[in-house]
């Protein structure tokens, strides 16, 4: 994985010093809160309902064991012993003091971490496939380009005061696990017939109040043009994106208002006007970065491990976990281990400091020192030998980290909602917890199959409800919370936005409604191979509406 050189170290150290100075000027009253706000936001510091919240960047979701241990130490020292992994592959701490933030950032900088641009109207942490470098279906590891983008976008002088936040996702695999179609810019790697790699550039996707699937501005952009082209897009957006209404300020609205063809013409014209950035320097940098992402020293192993198969046959709990939490690795004899942060009744994405340390130890011993954060708020050990899976599982189980529900009903994405967030209109964590308890039976979750339930506590959609197979949106009417249910969303390669099923439900009614939806699916499906999403796409909303609303109407 990437390691800082002296320049990166110096950059982050100076940045911490700069923040320390800004925080001191705020504490002394020299800066007004309004002036300080964009400065603290560019360092990931939010003012929440009860305290400051600090969002720490985990670039493209990749962590070393040492970094994970430091995150655990920070949780103990500056928070209440836990952290919250987010849908943008970052970690948040919810109980931070302004006076202590500079020290906290200094401790992070020692392990090559920072909170730069995890909020504010700038280019945010670049996200990618959480199986990058390990997945069996990948063309190439997208992380060198993601790291290049991290550096390019860091304190970019032209693009630090955009109309609104800006999110970029990158994938190197045909099966999209980075949700590139619902980002401001999504980049998807393709190969041409000469075997060269280029990028499909997708612009204007996004969730929030106006969920939209992005459109492809370029099918195959040569890699050498990538940064110049991105600068052209950013400039068109910075100049012409709306600034009169923050709900219409994302690039998707500009694309929508200009129309795809006009938007493309603007970008191409700007691209042609651009003095080419120094391509040679850029290519040198990309090569330098790529060397850090060379594959680890994998052993040559047989396709199947005898130890693993024996354990699989003998231990049904282990076998069940393998079936849902293990994914195919590109190398024979290795596996990708997905660690669920969604135990029965838990808070999605939360991990205690002890859990973080146990995962760090596992990464050290069994996964070439690598950990990933997934945008489903789970963690990943990307390179585990099949021989070691049983050992890894036992340690995970001892730490309440072996819930066998990846991609299943209990693997719920939820935003912080009314428990923490100042913008929330309803609670989302407690809803996630009750649904997770309702579907606690793992055999049943496996029987149901792939199911994504996503919950947001307001229309801003941080819980990605639009792209949940089942989406739940918490709203409020006359002081009473209620929940709107959407069906048929997906953030995968065949991305789609879910549509509203019908009238909303009170918080108490939600678990029964989900139960009814799932039962209906089981009744309607043509066999275990037809997934929940398949059924929605085949049969539409009608059977679900009938099951949910008709009984009430008949009464």
Residues 444-503 that bind ligand SF4 (CB under 6 A): 456-458, 460-463
DSSP per-residue letters across 131-142:
TTTTBTT-SS-S
- For other proteins, which residue of 27, 239, 398, 480 counts as binding (CB under 8 A)? 239
Longest dimension (CA), the chain: 73
Give whichever of 49 and 224 is closer to ligand SF4, judged by the CB atom.
49
- For other proteins, which residue of 238, 378, 445, 490 counts as binding (CB under 8 A)? 238
Q: Is 424 in the site for ligand SF4 (CB under 6 A)?
A: yes
Q: Is 48 in the site for ligand SF4 (CB under 6 A)?
A: no
Give whichever of 31 and 395 is closer to other proteins, judged by the CB atom.
31
Residues 293, 133 contacting (CB under 8 angstroms): yes
The entry of ligand SF4, other proteins, none that residue 462 binds, CB within 5 to 8 Å by partner kind: ligand SF4
Cα 289–chain centre separation: 23
The answer for residues whose C-beta is within 8 angstroms of residue 103's C-beta and 6 or more apart is none
Give whichever of 116 and 421 is closer to ligand SF4, judged by the CB atom.
421
Q: Compute the least distance from the CB of residue 238 to other proteins, in Å.
A: 5
The answer for residues whose C-beta is within 8 angstroms of residue 18's C-beta and 6 or more apart is none
The entry of other proteins, ligand SF4, none that residue 5 binds, CB within 5 to 8 Å by partner kind: other proteins
Give dist(CA 138, CA 293) in Å, integer. 14
Interface with other proteins (CB under 8 A), residue total 40
Q: Tokens at residue 546, please? A: 């009938």
**Mask for 11-50, x = binds other proteins (CB under 8 A):** x--xx--x--xx------------x--xx-----------
Q: Compute the least distance from the CB of residue 284 to other proteins, in Å.
A: 5
Give whichever of 264 and 466 is closer to ligand SF4, judged by the CB atom.
466
Give whichever of 505 and 521 is closer to ligand SF4, judged by the CB atom.
505
Give dist(CA 37, CA 177) in Å, integer. 33
Q: Is 195 in the site for other proteins (CB under 8 A)?
A: no
Phi-psi region of 474 (alpha: psi -120 to 50; beta: other; left: phi over 0): beta
Q: Compute the least distance from the CB of residue 454 to ligand SF4, in Å.
A: 10
- Other CB atoms within a 10 A radius of the CB of residue 310 amount to 11
Give dist(CA 326, CA 97) in Å, integer. 39
Give whichever of 59 and 416 is closer to ligand SF4, judged by the CB atom.
416
The entry of ligand SF4, other proteins, none that residue 416 binds, CB within 5 to 8 Å by partner kind: ligand SF4
Hey, is 333 helix, strand or coil? coil
Strand runs (DSSP E) across 343-459, as ranges?
A: 350-352, 370-373, 379-385, 413-414, 453-456
R_g over Cα of the chain:
23
Residues 172, 146 contacting (CB under 8 angstroms): no
The answer for residues whose C-beta is within 8 angstroms of residue 537's C-beta and 6 or more apart is 488
Cα 107–chain centre separation: 24
Give whichever of 21 and 99 is closer to other proteins, judged by the CB atom.
21
Give whichever of 77 and 276 is closer to other proteins, judged by the CB atom.
276
Interface with ligand SF4 (CB under 6 A), residue total 13
Angle at 423 between CA 418 and CA 428, to 5 degrees: 30
User: Where along the sequence are the contacts to ligand SF4 (CB under 6 A)?
Assistant: 415-417, 421, 423-424, 456-458, 460-463
User: Where along the sequence are the contacts to other proteins (CB under 8 A)?
Assistant: 5, 7-8, 10-11, 14-15, 18, 21-22, 35, 38-39, 121, 151-152, 154-162, 235, 238-239, 243, 273-275, 277-278, 280-282, 284-285, 288
């Amino acid at each position: 994985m990437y390691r800082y050189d002296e320049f990166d170290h110096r950059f982050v150290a100076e940045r911490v010093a700069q923040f320390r100075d800004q925080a001191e000027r705020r504490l002394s009253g020299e800066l007004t809160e309004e002036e300080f706000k964009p400065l603290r936001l560019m360092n990931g510091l939010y003012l929440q309902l009860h305290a400051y919240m600090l969002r720490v960047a985990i670039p493209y979701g990749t962590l070393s064991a040492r970094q994970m241990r430091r995150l655990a130490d920070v949780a103990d020292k500056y928070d209440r012993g836990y952290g919250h992994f987010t849908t943008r592959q970052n970690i948040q701490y919810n109980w931070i003091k302004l006076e202590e933030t500079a020290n906290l950032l200094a401790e992070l900088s020692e392990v090559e971490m920072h909170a730069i641009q995890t909020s504010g109207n700038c280019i945010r942490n670049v996200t990618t496939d959480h199986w990058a470098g390990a997945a069996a279906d990948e063309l190439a590891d997208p992380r060198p380009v993601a790291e290049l983008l991290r550096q390019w976008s860091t304190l970019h002088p032209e693009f630090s005061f955009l109309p609104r936040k800006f999110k970029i996702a990158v994938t190197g695999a045909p099966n999209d696990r980075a949700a590139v179609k619902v980002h401001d810019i999504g980049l998807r790697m393709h190969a041409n017939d000469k075997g060269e790699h280029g990028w499909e550039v997708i612009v204007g996707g996004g969730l929030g109040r106006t969920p939209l699937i992005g459109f492809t501005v370029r099918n195959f952009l040569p890699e050498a043009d990538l940064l110049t082209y991105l600068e052209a897009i950013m400039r068109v957006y910075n100049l012409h994106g709306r600034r009169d209404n923050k709900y219409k300020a994302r690039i998707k609205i500009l694309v929508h208002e200009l129309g795809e063809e006009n938007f493309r013409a603007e970008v191409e014209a700007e691209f042609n006007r651009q003095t080419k950035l120094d391509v040679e320097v850029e290519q040198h940098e990309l090569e330098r970065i790529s060397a850090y992402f060379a594959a680890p020293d994998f052993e040559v192993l047989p396709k199947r491990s005898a130890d693993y198969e024996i354990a699989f046959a003998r231990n049904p709990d282990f076998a069940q976990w393998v079936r849902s939490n293990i994914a195919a690795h590109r190398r024979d004899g290795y596996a990708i281990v997905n660690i669920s942060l969604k135990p029965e009744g838990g808070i999605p994405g939360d991990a205690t400091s002890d859990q973080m340390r146990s995962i760090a130890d596992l990464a050290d011993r069994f996964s070439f020192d690598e950990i990933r954060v997934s945008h489903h708020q789970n963690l990943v050990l990307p390179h585990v030998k099949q021989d070691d899976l049983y050992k890894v599982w036992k340690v995970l189980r001892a730490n309440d980290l072996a819930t066998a529900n990846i991609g299943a009903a209990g693997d719920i994405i939820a935003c912080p909602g009314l428990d923490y967030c100042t913008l929330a209109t309803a609670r989302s964590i407690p809803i996630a917890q009750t649904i997770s308890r309702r579907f606690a039976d793992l055999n049943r979750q496996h029987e149901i199959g792939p199911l994504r339930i996503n919950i947001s506590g307001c229309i801003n959609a941080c819980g990605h409800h639009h792209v949940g197979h089942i989406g739940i949106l918490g709203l409020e009417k006359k002081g009473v919370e209620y929940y709107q249910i959407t069906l048929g969303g997906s953030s995968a390669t065949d991305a789609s936005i879910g549509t509203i099923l019908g009238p909303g439900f009170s918080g108490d009614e939600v678990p029964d409604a989900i139960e009814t939806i799932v039962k209906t699916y089981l009744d309607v499906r043509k066999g275990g191979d037809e997934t929940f999403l398949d059924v929605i796409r085949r049969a539409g909303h009608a059977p679900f509406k009938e099951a949910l609303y008709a009984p009430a109407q008949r009464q």
